[in-house]
Structure 1
Amino acid sequence: MEFQKDNSFITGRLKSVGFAVKGAFKLITTEHSVMVQSSLAVILIIAGFVFDISREEWMMQILTFGLVLSIESLNTAVEKIADFIHPEFHDRIGFIKDIAAGAVMFAALAAIAVGLLIYVPKFL
């Protein structure tokens, strides 16, 4: 199957959106970390309605979900490419994968901080 670029603006964008939806579906249905993070996002969306969080808190919560899921998606892509290029263990590949995982950790820590700032005062 040969790749053919679609030079039409509208149909090209629609195809791009289709590829993005396909990729998001693959992530949510095959990657355990994305499944967990998506589930936590749903739980926190429900919590947002239950605790009637403010507009600003909704914005921070949504941005945080997007950040974590985006970085996790990039981490998954890096891991898949690294495994494709060098399936056996290799120190340099391990180093690259560790760095990508570290990026996810930074995003997750930021998400935890945002969650604590939003929800701890609701319990106090």
Structure 2
Amino acid sequence: MNTGSVYKYYSFKGDYHLQKNQSFYNRFLFAWNGLRSTFKQENSFKTEVVLAIVASIILFFLKAEPIWWAIFLILMSSIMALELVNTAIENTLDRLHPEHNPQIGLAKDCAAAAIFLMCVISVVVFFIFLYEKFNI
């Protein structure tokens, strides 16, 4: 990930911690930059966005009740939020400790495992939805 890309939206004059007290607009730009950069550079995030769109289409055509839409939105946004956190962790650790280290590797693996766990839970919930919908 290009760590300097956020600077094109706002000049910190060398003091990155000043981001904390920026205007709402600038903070929005920081968040948007994170989403955009992650989408461009992380294949997993792209896949999750595509799967969320596919799942939305399936829910729409199967006329899912509002509770299923709410569950879906919570699960999909949780997966994508975890992917963003994972990307932040990986980029930070790669920057601070570029050489191979087993403890750094474990930290990255744990962050990836959190995403995997949410994906498994989402698949299980999707099958519960199908079971309820079709009384399989």
TM-score, normalized by length of structure 2? 0.80
Kept after mapping to 2: 8 A contact 1:64/1:114: no
Match of 2:50 among 39, 56, 62: 39
Alignment of 1:1-124 (within 5 A): 1=11, 2=13, 3=15, 12-123=23-134, 124=136
- Give me the CA root mean square deviation: 1.8
Whole-angstrom CA distance in 2 between matches of 1:80 and 1:27: 11
Unaligned runs of 5+ in 1: none
Q: Which runs of 5+ in 2 are unaligned?
A: 1-10
Runs of 4+ in 1 over 2 A off after TM superposition: 3-8, 119-124
Greater RCO, 1 or 2 (C-alpha within 8 Å, sep 6+): 1
Q: Deviations over 1:65-115 (max 9, x none)?
A: 111001111111111111111112111111111111111122112211221
Identity %: 25
For residues 112 and 19 of structure 2, what CA distance do their matches in structure 1 show?
A: 33
Q: TM-score, normalised by structure 1?
A: 0.87
